[in-house]
Amino acid sequence: MAGFAVALASCQMFTPPDVQESGFQPSDKPITVDNVVANAKLAEMAKAQHPRILATYGGEYSDPKLERMVAKVVGNLTVVSANPTQTYRITILNSPNVNAFALPGGYLYVTRGLLALANDSSELAAVIAHEMGHVTANHGLQRQQLEAEEGLATKVVSDVLGDSPTAKAALIRGKLKLAQFSRNQELQADAIGIKSIGEAGYDPYAAGRFLQSMSAYTDFRSVSGATDASLDFLATHPNTPQRIDLAQRLARNFGPPGVGTRDRDAFLAGIDGLLYGDTPEEGY
């Protein structure tokens, strides 16, 4: 088994003590994303954004039991990933919004709202594997480069053509190009993620199930007027029928429905006592 480390919001690290053992124990000599030389530049970029993310999403949600459960899922996925030496720092955000995202350098974020919506470990694994896919494929850097190129092109067109219809059309084409690029990245991350959860032994159909749950959740929010929808998963991860269909087709590569583990008992034990909603009065 290739060596790897998984960092939690508290910077506690988990490494596999034995190939045959499925659980994780704290490392005596933790290696955090802050001092991994191979990821230094990417980690510095993400590190600068980390405080802003915490401020936006209510800070860190601290629950060692929950963190260990999430760390185990990340560890299982890292072993089968294209880059098993990649170090990840997992932060559970204290927000009722349902979201998960990744930053270059291995920073992964999951809200407690998402943990409350997931039904089992396989669905959580599907979401995390999708975000790990963005990291593995360097999607963040690719998008930054494309945005810089489009920004420069837009400035040149504006300087030359001013506010003419031709300039406006060029601006629209640039925005459409970025939108298509984002959609393609989401589909690629879906493919990487489903391959990862299947190879890790999880139920590969979990990805499609969670996308359907998110769709139903979004419909509910549209009529309930709940917390800021701009902070939710579908605000940055379009939930199209194409994605659900692709997820189901990719899952069939591993067998019919019922293949793989959902690991529901471990998941429920991990989220036991999880704060639900905006305040403790809404329940645990």
Q: What DSSP string runs through 148-216?
A: HHHHHHHHHHHHHHTTSHHHHHHHHHHHHHHHHHHHHHHHHHHHHHHHHHHHTTB-TTHHHHHHHHHHH
Indicate the pLDDT class of residue 159, thresholds 50, 70 and 90. very low
pLDDT given at position 82: 85
Contact 201, 260 (CB under 8 A): yes
Domain ranges of the chain: 6-282
Instruction: Report the alpha-carbon distance of residue 159 to residue 161 in Å, rounded.
Output: 6
pLDDT given at position 147: 61
Task: Examine the pLDDT at 105 and tell me if it is beyond 60.
Answer: yes
Greater confidence, 168 or 249?
Answer: 249
pLDDT given at position 22: 29
Quick one: which of 41, 68, 17 has its CA closest to 266? 68
The per-residue pLDDT of the chain, averaged, comes to: 74
Give Cβ neighbours of residue 169 (< 8 Å, ≥ 6 apart). none
Separation of CA 68 from chain center:
17
Instruction: Report the alpha-carbon distance of residue 191 to residue 101 in Å, rounded.
Output: 16
Task: Examine the pLDDT at 63 and tell me if it is beyond 80.
Answer: yes
Region 250-254: mean pLDDT is 97
Number of Cβ within a 10 Å radius of residue 48: 10
pLDDT given at position 5: 42
Task: Examine the pLDDT at 98 and tell me if it is beyond 60.
Answer: yes
pLDDT given at position 44: 78
Region 185-196: mean pLDDT is 92
- Pick left, alpha or beta for residue 23 (phi over 0 → left; psi -120 to 50 → alpha; otherwise beta): beta
Indicate the pLDDT class of residue 145, thresholds 50, 70 and 90. low
pLDDT given at position 186: 85
Task: Examine the pLDDT at 35 and tell me if it is beyond 70.
Answer: no
Task: Examine the pLDDT at 87 and tell me if it is beyond 70.
Answer: yes
pLDDT given at position 162: 52
Region 90-100: mean pLDDT is 93
pLDDT given at position 237: 52
Instruction: Report the alpha-carbon distance of residue 242 to residue 254 in Å, rounded.
Output: 20
Tell me which H or E stretch contains 16. Answer: none
Region 31-51: mean pLDDT is 61
Contact 22, 97 (CB under 8 A): no
Greater confidence, 10 or 231?
Answer: 231
Written as six digits, the tokens of 255 are: 């067998």
